């Protein structure tokens, strides 16, 4: 769809042709790093922490819409806006931390895909990582050759595979409706449940998801000057974000319900391999295979989107543009090295999530500040009530991540 056609659709209030960017950004919420945490919560505590995922998803909707809105109103990405406002020294420092975050993201996603190929075909992890990297290059080549819409379509197709792969087990082992309702009541069961809930909630807002959503909106729509078209795009974006995050949130909730209904008390679900073995044992080998296929789709889609985010960060902050395929080849190296030296995959995933925690304030705080700037956002700047809600959400996410880092550092 051409830019002119998109703007005509926006002016006429048509929503469906304008959907897509949020579904790509939503991949960050169903990447391999989230799978083990949700399965562990259900296996250990049943339905107890269901309310945490519901609250986390509501917060994600707020934050991701702000990122998309910034891209539409300014015609630029969050890194691009910051790159124009920061002095050289702070700008380079900001870019350095964002690149570290992007690298950590990519490591988790390549490792997750490699684990999936190992579960499906018994492939060595290094070979699996190479295959994940090669297939993600093909996905990115689609964006280079055929444009944004074709790339979005492929990623959305992988998202649907993820949905089926992770949720099909609920058909075989459905959850208890009454227990699900009970899980919506906020409560805990000891210190360990609080820590697990904090990790689930604190990992909701990912820095690369914030960066990439603004870039996806910019690349899809550009800067829209006509007020009617802009209002139409923002309306469609609200539907886009709501639908995409509802789908991603359903996957995370479904993983918890799957474990609560079928894996309660089973040991070893704190690793992806252990969770796969437990699912296969409880629900049958067929469900285990479909789960592993969903995990593979998650790794392939999320590493492609993560590479897209890294490119947006580099272009916006240091005004350098490396071809996506070249960047994909470079960023694949750290993950392959870790797999090659025999680093424990679960440990690798945990460390990558810790690094991501450091990057959250650098993405979320500027996003909230820029969206209240009337000189930048004009009539679309946040009002006092929305701004207050966003400040509370971001403060909560940042505080939880800092608390987790302290707990990890002290060995609590």
Helices (H), 222-284: 227-262, 272-283
Helix (H, G, I), strand (E, B) or coil at 356: helix
Please provide residue 26's backbone torsions phi and psi, each rounded to the nearest 5 degrees.
-65, -20
| DSSP-derived secondary structure letter, 49 | T
* Residues 364, 86, 324, 145, Cα dihedral to 10°: 90
Rg of the Cα atoms in the chain? 20
Q: Are 381 and 351 in contact (CB under 8 A)?
A: no
The single residue listed with the structure tokens 């680093």 is 343
The stretches in the chain having pLDDT less than 70 are 1-13, 202-203, 350, 353, 405, 407-408, 411-412
Q: Which two structure tokens, joined as six digits, stand for 297?
A: 């789709």
- Nearest alpha carbon to residue 10 among 322, 330, 234, 317: 234
Q: Are 81 and 74 in contact (CB under 8 A)?
A: yes
- φ/ψ bin of 48: left (φ > 0), alpha (ψ from -120 to 50), beta (otherwise): alpha
Distance separating alpha carbons of residues 278 and 173, to the nearest angstrom: 13
Q: What angle do CA 199, 276, 139 make, to 5 degrees?
A: 80
Distance separating alpha carbons of residues 4 and 6, to the nearest angstrom: 5
Q: Are 113 and 347 in contact (CB under 8 A)?
A: no
Report residue 50 CA to chain centroid gap: 19
Distance separating alpha carbons of residues 65 and 25, to the nearest angstrom: 11
Taking only the tens place, the pLDDT of each residue in 291-340 is 999 999 999 999 999 889 999 999 999 998 888 888 888 888 999 999 99
Q: Are 64 and 217 in contact (CB under 8 A)?
A: no
Q: Where do the structural domains in the chain lie, given as residue ranges? A: 18-373+382-410
A 10 A CB-CB count for 104 gives: 25
**Per-residue model confidence (pLDDT) at position 47:** 97
Find out if CATH 3.30.70.100 is the number for domain 18-373+382-410: no
Distance separating alpha carbons of residues 98 and 78, to the nearest angstrom: 12
A 10 A CB-CB count for 111 gives: 30
- Nearest alpha carbon to residue 261 among 188, 183, 162: 183
> Whole-prediction pTM value?
0.91
Q: Are 376 and 81 in contact (CB under 8 A)?
A: yes
Distance separating alpha carbons of residues 204 and 364, to the nearest angstrom: 12
- Nearest alpha carbon to residue 80 among 218, 179, 190: 218
Concatenating the DSSP letter of every residue in 196-209 gives: HHHHHHHTSS-HHH
**Per-residue model confidence (pLDDT) at position 2:** 55
Helix (H, G, I), strand (E, B) or coil at 269: coil
- Torsion sign, CA atoms 288, 294, 300, 303: negative
Concatenating the DSSP letter of every residue in 80-134 gives: HHHHHHS-HHHHHHHHHHHHHHHHHHHHHHHHHHHHHHHHHH---HHHHHHHHHH
Please provide residue 321's backbone torsions phi and psi, each rounded to the nearest 5 degrees.
-120, 110
Helix (H, G, I), strand (E, B) or coil at 305: helix
**Per-residue model confidence (pLDDT) at position 349:** 74
């Amino acid at each position: 769809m051409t830019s002119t056609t998109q703007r005509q659709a926006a002016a006429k209030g048509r929503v469906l042709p304008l959907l897509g960017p949020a579904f790509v950004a939503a991949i960050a919420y169903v990447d391999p790093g989230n799978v083990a945490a949700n399965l562990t919560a259900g296996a250990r505590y049943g339905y107890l922490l269901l309310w945490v995922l519901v609250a986390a998803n509501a917060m994600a909707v707020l934050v991701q819409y702000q990122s998309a809105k910034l891209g539409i109103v300014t015609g630029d990405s969050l890194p691009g806006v910051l790159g124009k406002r920061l002095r050289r020294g702070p700008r380079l420092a900001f870019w350095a931390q964002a690149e570290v975050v992007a690298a950590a993201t990519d490591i988790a996603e390549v490792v997750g895909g490699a684990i999936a190929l190992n579960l499906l075909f018994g492939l060595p992890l290094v070979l699996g990582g190479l295959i994940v990297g090669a297939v993600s290059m093909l996905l990115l080549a689609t964006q280079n050759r055929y444009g944004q819409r074709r790339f979005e379509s492929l990623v959305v197709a992988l998202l649907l595979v993820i949905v089926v792969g992770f949720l099909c087990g609920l058909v075989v082992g459905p959850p208890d409706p009454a227990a699900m309702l009970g899980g919506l009541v906020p409560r805990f069961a000891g210190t360990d449940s609080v820590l697990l809930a904090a990790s689930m909630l604190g990992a909701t807002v990912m820095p690369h998801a914030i960066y990439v959503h603004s870039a996806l909106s910019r690349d899809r729509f550009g800067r829209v000057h006509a007020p009617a078209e802009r209002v139409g795009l923002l309306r469609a974006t609200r539907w886009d974000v709501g639908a995409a995050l509802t789908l991603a949130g359903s996957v995370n909730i479904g993983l918890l319900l799957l474990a609560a209904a079928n894996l309660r008390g089973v040991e070893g679900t704190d690793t992806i391999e252990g969770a796969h073995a437990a699912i296969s044992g409880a629900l049958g080998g067929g469900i285990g295979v479909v789960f592993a296929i969903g995990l593979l789709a998650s790794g392939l889609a999320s590493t492609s989107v993560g590479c897209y985010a890294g490119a947006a960060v580099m272009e916006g902050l240091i005004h350098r543009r490396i071809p996506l395929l070249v960047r994909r080849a470079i960023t694949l190296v750290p993950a392959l090295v870790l797999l090659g030296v025999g680093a424990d995959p679960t440990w690798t995933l945990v460390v990558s999530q810790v690094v991501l925690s450091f990057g959250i304030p650098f993405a979320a705080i500027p996003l909230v500040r820029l969206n209240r700037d009337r000189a930048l956002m004009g009539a679309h700047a946040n009002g006092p009530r929305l701004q207050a809600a966003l400040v509370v959400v971001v403060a909560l996410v940042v505080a939880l991540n800092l608390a987790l880092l302290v707990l990890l550092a002290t060995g609590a």
